[in-house]
């Protein structure tokens, strides 16, 4: 398969669904704010299957593949060698619910993002970050938001 992991970016108007992962010593991304997603499993036939399965597991939503807008370029976390494929979906009025690996979820309005720097405790690093809704987004999710924001028009159309 052409990916090691996949994420689902759920777009509702000008908002994207973000999650905060539960603390887990086995998860190098625990506590991070990110998009729902995760590693490829043996039953996944494609990277798209991985994204759809992970969204179902993490936020209890069943995505229709017809709601797929586009596949974005492969990204990687800076801390490890991993090919992550992001998929952008348009969703209507959905009610996501926190899954087993998720501590919290929220809709981030792309118009409310504030860019700056953040100190990441535990890693002792200062990084470029986006602040919104009481959360700090950094790393791969920060880079994906920077890629996505110029693509979204707040009248629900994508360029």
**CA-based angle 125:142:31, to the nearest 5?**
65
Kindly state whether residue 123 falls inside one of the protein's structural domains. Answer: no
Range of the domain at 20: 5-110
The pTM score is: 0.90
pLDDT tens-digit readout, 127-146? 999 988 888 899 999 999 99
Query: Does 12 fall in a domain?
Result: yes
Q: Strands 84-90 and 68-71, how do they pair?
A: antiparallel
pLDDT of res. 46: 97
**Number of compact structural domains in the chain:** 1
Residue 117 lies in a domain: no
CATH number at residue 35: 3.90.79.10
């Amino acid at each position: 398969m052409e990916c090691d992991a996949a994420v689902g970016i759920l777009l509702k108007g000008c908002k994207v669904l973000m999650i905060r992962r539960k603390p887990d010593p086995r998860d190098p991304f625990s506590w991070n704010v990110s998009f729902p997603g995760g590693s490829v499993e043996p039953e996944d036939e494609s990277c798209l299957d991985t994204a759809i399965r992970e969204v179902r597991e993490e936020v209890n939503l069943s995505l229709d593949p017809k709601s797929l807008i586009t596949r974005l370029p492969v990204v990687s976390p800076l801390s490890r060698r991993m090919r992550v494929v992001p998929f952008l979906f348009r969703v209507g009025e959905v009610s996501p619910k926190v899954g087993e690996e998720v501590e919290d979820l929220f809709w981030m309005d792309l118009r409310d993002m504030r860019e700056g720097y953040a100190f990441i405790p535990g890693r002792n690093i200062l990084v470029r970050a986006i602040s919104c809704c009481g959360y700090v987004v950094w790393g791969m999710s920060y880079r994906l938001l920077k890629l996505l924001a110029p693509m979204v028009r707040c009248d629900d159309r994508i360029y």
